[in-house]
Amino acid sequence: MRKLIAGNWKMNGSLAANQALVQALRADVGSPGCDVVVCPPAAYLAQVQQLLAGCPSIALGAQDVSEQAGGAYTGNVSAAMLADFGVRFAIVGHSERRQYQGESDLLVARKAQQALASGITPIVCVGETLAEREQGLTDFIVQRQLSAVLAVNGTHVAEMVVAYEPVWAIGTGQTATPEQAQQVHALLRGQLRAVNATAASQVRILYGGSMNAANAQALLAQPDIDGGLIGGAALKAPDFLTIVGAAA
């Protein structure tokens, strides 16, 4: 399976910084042996689309998508609008949106549904907090979160990407060991297999908890880790490209 490395810039960037970062990525990415996507803030999608013009090695992604197709939803951005800008991937259900915007499992499922309807691949995020892990609830939490998405989009399993992002390892410097990450990835693969055995082998499951240039190779060597959803390291071209190289 061809791995996927997705850079989530979060709420970072400026016109100048974006230009410098994309130019550095384009200069050295070459023809990678994996799929690469960058997800800038919505305000910069048009700029980054232009910066990526003529660069088939890097796809454009979005950090979120509305659960509505259109209408009186001030501030929302629909999947059709994203598609107009050539967006091919959209992150849905990131733990920061679940925490700060109160997104529910059902809302995440509906966002994935809207992305799929516009031909955009949703990157469905699941993950547990430190308290939930310490209580032995990891399996229950991630399976509940994924179940909600599958209940709404079960016939489109093969068209989705799943990202396991342990909340306790996001931006903290902590990282799940390769063995810990593989255990959850294998659990998610089994859940997908129960819905569609054929599609389960095609779905890429990314790891999204502080993957960086130093630990990427060990994490990506695990049998059920098919790529990474990269946060801080995605803002540094050398680090991001090192991860891309490890995935290839």
Q: Residue 57 and residue 29: Cα distance in Å, rounded?
A: 7
Residue listed under structure tokens 């998405």:
149
Active site residue ranges? 94, 165
169 pLDDT band (50/70/90 cuts)? confident
Note the pLDDT of residue 174.
75
Which pLDDT band, with edges at 50, 70 and 90, does 86 fall under?
very high
Give residue-wise pLDDT tens across range 12-39: 999 999 999 999 999 999 999 999 999 9
Q: Looking at residues 91-116, what average pLDDT do you find?
A: 97
Q: State the burial class of residue 159 (Cβ atoms within 10 Å of its Cβ: 0-12, 13-18, 19+).
A: middle
φ/ψ (deg, to 5) at 206: -95, 155
pLDDT grade, residue 173 (50/70/90)? Answer: confident
Query: For residue 68, what pLDDT is reported?
Result: 98
pTM: predicted TM-score of the whole model, two decimal places: 0.97
pLDDT above 70: percentage of residues in the chain: 100
Residue 119: its pLDDT value, please? 98
Which CATH number goes with the domain that contains 114?
A: 3.20.20.70
Range of the domain at 127: 4-247
Residue 98 has pLDDT above 90, yes or no: yes
How many structural domains is the chain composed of?
1
Q: φ, ψ for residue 229 (rounded to 5)?
A: -105, 105
Mean pLDDT of the chain: 96
In this prediction, residue 175 carries a pLDDT of 75
**Alpha carbon distance 38, 185 (integer Å):** 23
In the predicted structure, residue 126 carries a pLDDT above the cut 80: yes
By percentage, how much of the chain surpasses pLDDT 90? 94
